[in-house]
Amino acid sequence: MKPTDTSEKELERLIVRHLAGISEHPPVPEDAAGEDRAIYAPGGYVLGRASDYNRDVALDVAKLLEFLLATQPKAVETLNFAAEGIQRTQFLHRLQGEVAKRGVVDVLRKGVSHGPVSIDLYKLLPTPGNAAAAEAFGRNIFSVTRQVRYSHDSGNELDLVVFINGLPVLTFELKNSLTKQTVADAVVQYQTTRDPKELLFQPGRCVAHMAVDDAEVRFCTELKGKASWFLPFNQGWNSGAGNPPNPNGLKTDYLWKQVLTKDSLANIIENYAQVVEEEEEDSNGRKRKRRKPIFPRFHQLRTVGALLRRSREDGVGKRYLIQHSAGSGKSNSIAWLAHQLVELKMAVDETQALFDSVIVITDRRALDTQIHRTIKGYDHVASILGHSDNAQELRDFLRRGKKIIVTTVQKFPFILDELGDLGGRKFALLIDEAHSSQGGKTTAKMHQALGGKTDEEDFEEDCTQDAVNTEIEKRIALRKLLPNVSYYAFTATPKAKTLELFGERVAVGDKVQFRSPEELTYTTKQAIQEGFIRDVIANYTPVDSFYHVAKTIEDDPQVDKLKALKKIRRYVESHDKAIRRKAEIMVDHFTTQVIGAKKIGGKARAMIVCNGIARAIDYFREVSDYLAEIKSPYKAIVAYSGNFEIGGSKKTEADLNGFPSKDIPAKLKNDPYRFLIVANKFVTGFDEPLLHTMYVDKPLAGVMAVQTLSRLNRAHPQKGDTFVLDFADNAEAVKAAFQEYYRATIQDGETDPNKLHDLKGDLDAQQVYSAQQVDELVALYLSGADRDELDPILDVCVAEYVSKLGEDDQVEFKGKAKAFVRSYAFLSAILPYGHPAWEKLSIFLNFLIPKLPAPKEEDLSKGVLEAIDMDSYRTQALASMKLALDDADAVVEPPPPGGGGGGGEPDLDRLSNVIKQFNDLFGNIEWHDADKIKKVIAEEIPTRVARDKAYQNAQANSGKQNARLEHDKALNRVVLELLDDHTELFKQFSDNPNFKRWLADMVFDSTYRPGTNPPASPQPGA
């Protein structure tokens, strides 16, 4: 009995046998005419011969000739290509030169011209029902060849090469974990033994190079020796990296059973693989173009394929939520989906397009040019693509029926007056970062544009009630998601409203959940584990700030304690000494720990995130001054929108930087610029892989925390880690924010629309307005009345608000009014019914809210800043920490439509006590590590010792003497672990016997619990 062959060669044979039906060529009789053809296997391939590979032109000449004879015999005859000789050689060198210049994908799609003829090198996938195209596609020869010797200079062979009509498209190195080699060994083999100068490995010659074993797949689009960057091409498992167990075969057989099938690979060649040109600027300002090959990742193929399938099955008018991690290639996914949706046909009528136009919407005012560039790379759609840089272009594109339009959601409100009725056409809306692109008012305007604008001519001169009611019904209809539009919402950070608006509704027991379907989800966890993005909270260092504020007046007035504390903190945080000290810390850290450590090969950049434009300008000044003072070769860039007054004159970022705003991204890539100082600009939607370090001096939480820190997560071949230094005490908020989007985000339950009834009832009860006033104002507004007819109604309501409501009631009314408007904008899009009273009140409140004055309250902390001065400012970095996240899906609650609350009594205290409390909180100490060491001794050391397993076991099963021995061993281990962060403490423990004895007694007394395991978190000193 022959045992199972577990060698690498058997894996090779297994793949080839599935693709081509055979794994070895049978002997060919000497008198056989022509080449034997293998039967087609499930993969639709034939088995190629290694001897047919021509190393001079990197082609399988036999398969190329076979394809041309079958499809273009006249061209073969004209070129005399069938016979060996100078004419064949000339054509082969012409073909390989075109591949070198344009890339194999472009040559396959467009063919080549040679002499008097144009030659097709590939037949496209057929559209459904097109028999002639199906027959033509069937003439393509997909072949797989084993042990291809690719070099004249060495005997090295590739395990497998896949050819299409004789042109190589994929190479493979295979490994087998049962022989103690893995995909990592295949990667090393490509990096060290496959010379990128060899013709087969030159850029664009192949679509990708694949490293494969029985557990994982990786790919590289461009070999660069040891710098070759291989990325995973795995399905994912348990919301993370890798592949799931396969009950029917190897974990990686999806590669040859699904991805490499003839139709699937053809789809990748036609619709995904590309070489795009990117423009870069060098340090001298010269612009040059770089060609970058693109190959889809597995999750992108799966997502786009699933959306196309669902769209065809569902028809127009559906919603899809795609939760894809930041940095996971959303721009390419959107581009690939857009150009394929244009050509998607109806399931019921293969001759009709499903959509008239596809509109790509981003919330970034600086349009994502990557989306436009990727779509434009497909010649068959380039002529139907419109990139809208202004409202006029958008208007023209919509009117002319441009097939693909890339734009921003902000442009829609400006074109309604001139837009015709588009309600009879069908649209696909692809929304980039859907958590913020679906603002209530802007979305309603967008729906109005695409669904057909309101006809205001229906109103009579006196605006009859029937006309008002008709208009209200139209407005309600326009708020809803349109039946002539399909929505594709892409986001890494779905909010509750986004989940309910676009997510899949699933019944779970007696509740409902909203989420992105599994095939449309690519989690942050998986993206990090696969190396597509970096874990930006793996090296997170908070900074404690220490202040000493001196009282500068003899009086001790009463002040509002909470407000005073906030004012004092803002004062010291913005004080010149504080900004300067922190700027020095940032520059010194970056110079020594980032540049000095040659992060990203010495090319690392840093971002300084500030709390407002004024603070960003302060930092720009102090960082620039300090860089000049230490004679650093580096410079900083400041980024903000608009003008800002500095020294009595308004300045733009261009004025301060000395170059145009549009050049900021390009400048940051080149020396001398290493620091980008920002407030809000560039903290979302900015993609720069060279960003390694972030200095945060701004409160961060929720989606903003994730988006801001995610500026660091873009992967780079030389980027092994990232670093965050946080001056604003954001650690807990950051951890909570990232936890919500680490795996799938699921909304548990749905919004209760009856809460709108409750909010309306509460607002009506305050009697700030009457139903008659609401009706009157709405009728005047809808009929186009003059402005001075609206204000008298609103002013009467404002007078009622001021005279009848106390301070707390004013706060509550205004909060609930805002909550009603916000909640109605959301609910009106998803509810199956409309409510005219809600629509009218929404219109009314949108006018009333801006007129309501803020509640008058006495600022009892006024003057506190004039009464203090800052004596000293110090910062101290706490130990760098990895913010570990729970491996679980996040469950969020539906968005509550609740309102605001009251004010409360001020907490009065003497100014001296306020200052004392402030100094106590932030460390009014004389030497550097005192408070830190006290905390470590009192809390950290006892906790870590108590968790020692050997010590726990001794307490549970031995006497006090043995427990003390194990305790002392545990204490030694813990103190040794603290050596890097607390050298003073370690030195005292090692050199001072009295200190060591005291510490050991104190920790043992606080942790020893005889007969049982001690608690996980002991109370030191108890």
pLDDT at residue number 984: 62
CA angle 501, 504, 510 (to 5 degrees): 100
pLDDT at residue number 499: 86
With bands split at pLDDT 50, 70 and 90, how would you rate the model's confidence at 972?
confident
With bands split at pLDDT 50, 70 and 90, how would you rate the model's confidence at 390?
low
Angstrom distance (rounded) from CA 317 to CA 486: 5
Tokens of 445: 């305007």
pLDDT at residue number 652: 93
pLDDT at residue number 269: 95
pLDDT at residue number 925: 35
With bands split at pLDDT 50, 70 and 90, how would you rate the model's confidence at 233?
very high
Helix (H, G, I), strand (E, B) or coil at 590: helix
Residue labelled with tokens 């795995």: 234
What average pLDDT does this structure show over 669-697? 92
Tokens of 597: 């450590």
pLDDT at residue number 420: 43
Angstrom distance (rounded) from CA 394 to CA 397: 5
With bands split at pLDDT 50, 70 and 90, how would you rate the model's confidence at 938?
confident
pLDDT for residue 632 is more than 70? yes
Within 831-879, residue ranges assigned H as helices are 836-848
pLDDT for residue 910 is more than 70? no
Helix (H, G, I), strand (E, B) or coil at 821: helix
pLDDT for residue 633 is more than 70? yes
Angstrom distance (rounded) from CA 71 to CA 77: 12
pLDDT for residue 218 is more than 60? yes
pLDDT at residue number 975: 80
What average pLDDT does this structure show over 120-124? 95
Question: What CA–CA distances, in Å, run from 498 to 223, 487, 999?
Answer: 41, 12, 54
pLDDT at residue number 899: 56
Query: Which residues have CB under 8 Å from 946's CB, separation 6+?
Result: 952, 1007, 1014, 1015, 1016, 1018
pLDDT for residue 921 is more than 50? no
Tokens of 744: 């799938």
pLDDT at residue number 537: 86
Pick 827 or 210 by higher pLDDT. Answer: 210
Question: What CA–CA distances, in Å, run from 767 to 547, 644, 761, 800?
Answer: 49, 42, 10, 8
pLDDT at residue number 40: 46
Pick 933 or 508 by higher pLDDT. Answer: 508
pLDDT at residue number 1021: 37
pLDDT for residue 33 is more than 60? no
For CA atoms 791, 797, 799, 802, the dihedral sign is negative
Torsion on CA atoms 955, 959, 960, 966, rounded to nearest 10: -60
With bands split at pLDDT 50, 70 and 90, how would you rate the model's confidence at 380?
low
Tens-digit pLDDT profile for residues 699-731: 888 888 888 999 999 888 899 899 999 988 788
With bands split at pLDDT 50, 70 and 90, how would you rate the model's confidence at 992?
low
How large a percentage of the chain has pLDDT more than 70?
Answer: 80
With bands split at pLDDT 50, 70 and 90, how would you rate the model's confidence at 1014?
very low
Residues 595-619: b if buried by 16+ CB within 10 A, e if exposed: beeebbeebbbbbbbbbebebbbbb
- How many CB atoms sit inside 10 A of residue 54's CB? 16
pLDDT at residue number 219: 96
Question: What CA–CA distances, in Å, run from 194 to 154, 174, 716?
Answer: 10, 14, 22
pLDDT at residue number 717: 86
Within 608-747, residue ranges assigned H as helices are 613-629, 653-657, 664-668, 702-709, 731-740
Tens-digit pLDDT profile for residues 793-833: 999 999 999 998 988 888 889 989 988 988 888 787 777 77
pLDDT for residue 920 is more than 60? no
**Contacts made by residues 246-250, CB under 8 angstroms, sequence distance 24+:** 250/11, 250/14, 250/214
- DSSP assignment letter at 225: T
Question: What CA–CA distances, in Å, run from 1020 to 921, 930, 996?
Answer: 21, 18, 17
What average pLDDT does this structure show over 837-847? 92
pLDDT at residue number 459: 41
pLDDT for residue 678 is more than 70? yes
Angstrom distance (rounded) from CA 395 to CA 391: 6
Pick 258 or 425 by higher pLDDT. Answer: 258
Closest CA to 758 of 827, 669, 852: 827
pLDDT at residue number 450: 67
pLDDT at residue number 831: 74
How large a percentage of the chain has pLDDT more than 90?
Answer: 37
Helix (H, G, I), strand (E, B) or coil at 434: helix
pLDDT at residue number 302: 95
Tens-digit pLDDT profile for residues 14-29: 999 999 988 888 765 5
Within 148-261, residue ranges assigned H as helices are 183-193, 254
pLDDT at residue number 942: 83
pTM of the predicted protein model: 0.76
Angstrom distance (rounded) from CA 280 to CA 679: 26
What average pLDDT does this structure show over 513-527? 89
What average pLDDT does this structure show over 124-139? 90
What average pLDDT does this structure show over 161-181? 93
Angstrom distance (rounded) from CA 722 to CA 864: 41
Tens-digit pLDDT profile for residues 62-105: 999 999 999 999 998 888 887 888 888 999 999 999 999 999 99
**Contact at 8 Å (CB) between 982 and 929?**
yes
Tens-digit pLDDT profile for residues 259-303: 999 999 999 999 999 887 776 665 556 677 778 888 999 999 999
pLDDT at residue number 903: 47
pLDDT at residue number 381: 57
With bands split at pLDDT 50, 70 and 90, how would you rate the model's confidence at 895?
low
Residue labelled with tokens 């557990």: 215
pLDDT at residue number 951: 87
pLDDT at residue number 280: 67
Average model confidence (pLDDT) for the chain? 82
With bands split at pLDDT 50, 70 and 90, how would you rate the model's confidence at 1016?
very low
pLDDT for residue 158 is more than 80? yes
pLDDT for residue 843 is more than 60? yes
pLDDT at residue number 922: 40
Query: Could you tell me whether strands 46-47 and 142-149 are parallel, antiparallel, or unpaired per DSSP bridges?
Result: parallel
pLDDT at residue number 849: 92
What average pLDDT does this structure show over 147-155? 87
What average pLDDT does this structure show over 130-153? 93
Pick 370 or 888 by higher pLDDT. Answer: 888
β-sheet bridge partners, residue 521: 323
Phi and psi, residue 474, nearest 5°: -65, -40
With bands split at pLDDT 50, 70 and 90, how would you rate the model's confidence at 135?
very high
Domains of the chain: 8-26+37-271 (no CATH), 296-522 (3.40.50.300), 532-748 (3.40.50.300), 767-804+807-851 (no CATH), 930-1007 (no CATH)
pLDDT for residue 45 is more than 90? yes
Pick 385 or 770 by higher pLDDT. Answer: 770
Of the spans 126-130, 424-428, 489-493, 635-639, which averages the highest pLDDT?
635-639
